[in-house]
């Protein structure tokens, strides 16, 4: 984590020196020197990465580097705050001497010199090779090998019967006689090794394979050790084996497996390199040989066999969890007393389907007297009881964390800020990571948000983060973290002074936040705010109350008074009676999320030169955004509710490549009023990706004056467009659109279109169908009106998702060739619709169909379902078709 702290500070200093050097007038030389010294420390941290877990001396030094980086960051950020304030008052030069920051920076410089001296001692002693580092005072390196084999439950395995049967079938199938890899993947503690052992010992497997070999690879992978283990399983072990080098071992294994049907279990493979190292030893002689591979990393499994999806190990359900817990606690021939059953089921449920956690808790309950009081205490705080036995559970989970590259470690432990079982919106998580400075561009072409999504996908592939819901285009919409892994996040975050979570009654708020850089409140938020907290080191203030709260006018000033250096301010779950104008003094703010009855966003927000994301939830139908975002070079996302009026640059300039008000960072503007869609605004957002518009949409398409919709065709990078027709206080019928513009007037690369209350005629669908890149079409309440929709040839060539909301549609006429790529169909509240076109059954890509309150279309949907099943049986494909009907009959 110290690596990440220094890395982020270096990036912040670089941005300060490049773009805002006027704010560090008088100390620029010292800041420049600090940047160079921290760069040296960063190099040391990279060198010391493999040794810090082994040597206490190095670990302490790494902690000192982290602390001095935090201190330097505080001094410089505070200097910038005061310099900005004094610059506004035109007394900057006088105030510099009053605050005397050069003296404070010199103090930090002394600390850095002391650390450099310690670094030099280590390097002079040939980098951790000296005897002193092996003494008890400086070393905590274990005497035995770190390649500890996992705990395996071989008896009374619960919940794996069906999965074991499936894996055995895949291993013994005669569909392919060539060598194949079957992989089992899942997060740590889910039972991959236990399942693999159950399969390995299955009588069918023992009979089918002439040679069977089990080898534990592990995170601390040693190629020669693994090769020796494989060869020792294939031939009679002898001393000569250990004298062979790696290439000779590979040759020997290959020779002895050649021509024989074998099964090799490679348990706990962590890296792509490990698989690439070992695969050379396994001959492919069309004997039906198989390799069973277990891993926490999905990408390893996909590399080993790109043509076959890995088996993702599921979590236990509530019944299976209780069965496993009771089996382990009461052993054979015993039953759980009736008075403990309900508490036991609660304990099992709170292990959230993770077998390792259940086994750890069962071990605790087995050793104690089985009293109701004890079981009640355990049920109230299962996670804390699991954490008491770190060697069996938390350390197993921590292996995945330690294996992460530095840029993913900080992203992972950030999940600790969110409440338990909280569905985390990916757009928000990504914006937060970018604002926190976790995402660093490698080159100028990189999009920070795209990089952040790649980081998230990487964490998912490593089975550290769970997907809660996917978007219609397959990307992750919401995610969550398993409670046991969340506890790991909090443990690491506390140790690194990274994050503090408050979820109980606070007696003295000032004692809670002396060092932590991030503060996340989950309950008792009002009492915390009323206590007038002081967080001089806090960079992020996040609120997640279980219910919406209201902050009175007299308490809004606490934000500025308490957290002067804050960068992330997320108070969207708290209703604020007035807009807190004081936050405009928080010059480091990068992310703001607020909620209240706001009618206007003041122009003073424009002073926040670091602001990237502005998220406003207002109960007002209209919002006047007087913020001059055209002067804010870092601005990226504007998200508001209602119909927001956005103003273009006040100064008149020509709109070309030299226009100083072109904002190439802006990616999101949603939702704004139709009259804000002027050339003066849209032409200055060339990289806009998402645009949402709410209001009287007829203003967009009025041909009697320069048509505002014409400006959309210039948005080359826009891929999501949302058009919400809002005619309040007039009825929607008075805002009915007569039609839509020609397809060539739409953004040229549009992939997702959402319409609501537009009351269009179904004939307009032929125009929408001509959009060349459209993949997702969402028709919300009365987007279209009329009894018949007849699809025409030549349209919707790439459409994958079609969602039809409430409408008066009666007859939908279409064949499979009208939607050749369609994968998902959702129809809601279309009570008059007679049926779904049965021709959709011929669309080979179709995967799901969901009907909600569409009673008269149920029979046609069931017919499509039956036809799809028959097609799959005929083609012998395993890809299922899913039909959802609600309410169920």
| Residue 122 pLDDT | 58
| Residue 143 pLDDT | 35
Residue 262 has pLDDT above 50, yes or no: yes
* Mean pLDDT on 611-634: 94
Contact criterion met (CB below 8 Å) for 832 and 856: yes
Measured between alpha carbons, how far is 140 from 125 in angstroms, rounded to an integer? 19
Measured between alpha carbons, how far is 559 from 532 in angstroms, rounded to an integer? 9
Residue 144 has pLDDT above 50, yes or no: no
Strand 466-470 versus strand 476-480 pairing type: antiparallel
Contact criterion met (CB below 8 Å) for 541 and 547: no
Confidence category of residue 95, pLDDT binned at 50, 70, 90:
very low
| Residue 125 pLDDT | 58
Phi and psi at residue 223, in whole multiples of 5°? -60, -45
Query: Domain limits of the chain?
Result: 2-134, 161-312, 318-387, 404-495, 608-761, 786-889
Confidence category of residue 389, pLDDT binned at 50, 70, 90:
low
Quick check: helix, strand or coil at residue 67?
Answer: helix
Measured between alpha carbons, how far is 652 from 657 in angstroms, rounded to an integer? 15
| Residue 442 pLDDT | 79
* Mean pLDDT on 798-807: 96
User: Counting beta carbons within 10 angstroms of the beta carbon of residue 194, is it exposed (0 to 12), middle (13 to 18) or buried (19 or more)?
Assistant: buried
Residue 94 has pLDDT above 50, yes or no: no
* Mean pLDDT on 834-841: 95
CB hemisphere CA count around 722 (13 angstroms): 19
> Bigger pLDDT: 427 or 71?
427
* Domain 404-495, CATH: 1.10.10.10
Q: Write the CA distances from 300 to 185, 413, 719, integer angstroms.
A: 9, 23, 32
Neighbours of 477 (CB within 10 A): 17
Residue 117 has pLDDT above 80, yes or no: no
Confidence category of residue 136, pLDDT binned at 50, 70, 90:
very low
C-alpha angle with apex 640: 638 to 646, nearest 5 degrees?
65
pLDDT in tens, 356-386: 888 888 878 887 778 888 899 888 878 777 7
Confidence category of residue 545, pLDDT binned at 50, 70, 90:
confident
Q: Write the CA distances from 210 to 164, 231, 264, 265, integer angstroms.
A: 20, 15, 11, 14
Strand 518-521 versus strand 500-502 pairing type: parallel
Residue 755 has pLDDT above 90, yes or no: yes
* Mean pLDDT on 472-498: 87
| Residue 858 pLDDT | 95
Residue 138 has pLDDT above 90, yes or no: no
Which CATH architecture fits 161-312? Answer: 3-Layer(aba) Sandwich (3.40)
> Bigger pLDDT: 868 or 51?
868
- Phi-psi region for residue 628, left (φ > 0), alpha (ψ -120 to 50) or beta? beta
Confidence category of residue 654, pLDDT binned at 50, 70, 90:
low
Q: How high does pLDDT run on average in the chain?
A: 84
pLDDT in tens, 21-39: 777 766 777 777 777 877 8
| Residue 207 pLDDT | 92
Identify how many contiguous H helices and E strands the chain contains and give both numbers: 27, 29
| Residue 509 pLDDT | 55
Q: Which residue has the tokens 């790991």?
A: 488
* Mean pLDDT on 776-803: 95
* Mean pLDDT on 377-403: 75
Instruction: Encode burial over 729-754: b for 16+ CB neighbours within 10 A, e otherwise.
Output: eeebeebbbeebbebebbbbebbbbb
pLDDT in tens, 168-210: 999 998 767 889 999 999 988 888 988 999 999 999 999 999 8
- Which of 633, 668, 662, 667 is CA-nearest to residue 648? 662
* Mean pLDDT on 497-526: 76
| Residue 875 pLDDT | 67
Quick check: helix, strand or coil at residue 770?
Answer: coil
The H or E element spanning position 672 is strand 668-672
The H or E element spanning position 359 is helix 355-367
Share of the chain above pLDDT 90, in %: 45
Q: Is cis: bond before 600, omega within 30 of 0?
A: no
* Mean pLDDT on 73-77: 82
| Residue 171 pLDDT | 92
Q: Write the CA distances from 458 to 119, 151, 294, 315, integer angstroms.
A: 33, 27, 18, 20
| Residue 515 pLDDT | 73
Share of the chain above pLDDT 70, in %: 86
pLDDT in tens, 429-479: 999 999 999 998 878 788 999 999 999 999 998 888 988 888 877 889 999
Lowest mean pLDDT among 360-369, 382-391, 796-805, 819-828: 382-391
């Amino acid at each position: 984590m110290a690596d990440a702290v220094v890395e982020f500070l270096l990036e912040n200093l670089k941005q300060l020196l490049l773009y805002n050097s006027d704010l560090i007038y008088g100390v620029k030389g010292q800041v420049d020197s600090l940047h160079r010294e921290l760069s040296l420390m960063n190099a040391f941290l990279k060198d010391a990465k493999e040794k810090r877990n082994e040597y206490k001396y190095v670990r302490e030094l790494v902690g000192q580097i982290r602390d001095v980086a935090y201190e330097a960051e505080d001094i410089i950020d505070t200097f910038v705050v005061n310099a900005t304030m004094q610059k506004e008052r035109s007394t900057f030069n006088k105030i510099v001497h009053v605050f005397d920051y050069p003296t404070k920076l010199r103090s930090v410089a002394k600390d850095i010199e002391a650390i450099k001296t310690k670094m030099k001692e280590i390097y002079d002693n040939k980098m951790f090779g000296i005897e002193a580092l092996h003494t008890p005072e400086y070393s905590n390196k274990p005497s035995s090998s770190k390649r500890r084999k996992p705990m395996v439950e071989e008896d009374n395995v619960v919940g794996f019967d069906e999965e074991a049967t499936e894996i055995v079938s895949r291993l013994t199938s005669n569909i392919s006689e060539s060598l194949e890899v079957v992989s089992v993947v899942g997060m740590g503690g889910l039972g991959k090794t236990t399942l693999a052992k159950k399969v390995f010992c299955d009588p069918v497997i023992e009979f089918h394979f002439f040679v069977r070999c089990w080898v534990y690879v592990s995170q601390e992978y040693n190629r020669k050790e693994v090769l020796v283990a494989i060869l020792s399983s294939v031939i009679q072990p002898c001393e000569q084996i250990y004298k062979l080098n790696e290439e000779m071992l590979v040759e020997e294994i290959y020779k002895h497996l050649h021509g024989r049907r074998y099964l090799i279990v490679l348990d706990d493979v962590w890296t792509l390199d490990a698989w690439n190292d070992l695969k050379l030893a396994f001959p492919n002689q069309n004997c039906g040989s198989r390799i069973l591979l277990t891993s926490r990393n999905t990408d390893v499994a996909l590399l080993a066999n790109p043509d076959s999806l890995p088996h993702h190990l599921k979590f236990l359900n509530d019944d299976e969890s209780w069965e496993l817990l009771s089996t382990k606690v009461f052993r054979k021939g015993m039953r759980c007393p009736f008075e403990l059953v309900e508490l036991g089921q609660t304990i099992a449920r709170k292990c959230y389907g993770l077998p390792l956690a259940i086994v750890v808790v069962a071990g605790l309950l087995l050793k104690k007297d089985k009293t109701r009081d004890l079981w009640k205490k355990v049920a109230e705080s299962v996670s804390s009881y699991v954490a008491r036995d770190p060697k069996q559970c938390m350390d197993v989970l921590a292996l995945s964390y330690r294996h992460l590259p530095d840029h993913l470690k900080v992203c992972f432990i950030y999940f600790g800020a969110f409440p338990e079982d909280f569905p985390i919106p990916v757009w928000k998580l990504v914006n937060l990571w970018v604002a926190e400075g976790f995402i660093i561009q490698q080159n100028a072409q990189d999009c920070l948000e795209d990089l952040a999504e790649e980081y998230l996908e990487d964490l998912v592939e490593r089975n550290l983060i769970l997907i809660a819901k996917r978007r219609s285009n397959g990307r992750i919409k919401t995610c969550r973290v398993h409670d046991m892994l969340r506890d790991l996040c909090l443990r690491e975050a506390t140790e690194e002074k990274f994050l503090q979570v408050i979820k109980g009654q606070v007696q003295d708020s000032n004692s809670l936040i002396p060092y932590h850089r991030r503060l996340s409140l989950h309950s008792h938020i009002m009492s915390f705010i009323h206590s007038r907290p002081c967080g001089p080191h806090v960079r992020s203030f996040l609120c997640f109350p279980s219910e919406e709260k209201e902050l009175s006018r007299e308490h809004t000033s606490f934000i500025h008074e308490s957290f002067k250096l804050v960068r992330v301010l997320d108070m969207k779950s708290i209703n604020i009676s007035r807009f807190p104008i004081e936050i405009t003094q928080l010059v480091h703010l990068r992310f703001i999320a607020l909620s209240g009855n706001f009618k206007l966003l003041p122009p003073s927000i424009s002073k926040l030169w670091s602001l990237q994301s502005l998220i406003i939830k207002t109960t007002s139908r209209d919002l006047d955004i007087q913020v001059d975002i055209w002067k804010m070079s870092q601005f990226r996302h504007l998200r508001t509710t209602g119909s927001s009026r956005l103003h273009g640059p006040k100064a008149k300039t020509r709109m070309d490549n030299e226009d100083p008000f072109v904002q190439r960072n802006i990616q999101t503007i949603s939702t704004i009023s139709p009259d804000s869609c002027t050339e003066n605004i849209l032409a200055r957002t060339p990289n806009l990706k998402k645009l949402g518009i709410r209001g009287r949409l007829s203003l967009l398409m009025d041909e009697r004056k320069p048509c505002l919709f014409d400006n959309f065709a210039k948005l080359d990078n826009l891929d999501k467009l949302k058009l919400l027709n809002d005619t309040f206080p007039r009825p929607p019928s008075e805002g009915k659109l007569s039609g839509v513009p020609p397809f060539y007037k739409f953004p040229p690369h549009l992939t997702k279109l959402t319409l609501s209350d537009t009351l269009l005629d179904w004939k307009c669908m032929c125009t929408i169908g001509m959009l060349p890149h459209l993949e997702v079409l969402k028709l919300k309440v009365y987007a279209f009106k009329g009894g018949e929709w007849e699809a025409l040839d030549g349209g919707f060539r790439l459409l994958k998702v079609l969602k039809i909301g409430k409408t008066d549609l009666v007859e939908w006429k279409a064949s499979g060739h009208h939607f050749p790529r369609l994968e998902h169909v959702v129809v809601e509240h279309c009570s008059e619709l007679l049926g779904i076109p049965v021709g959709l059954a011929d669309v080979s890509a179709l995967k799901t169909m969901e009907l909600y309150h569409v009673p008269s279309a149920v029979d046609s949907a069931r017919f499509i379902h039956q036809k799809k099943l028959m097609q799959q049986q005929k083609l012998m494909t395993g890809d299922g078709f899913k039909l959802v009907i609600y309410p169920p009959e």
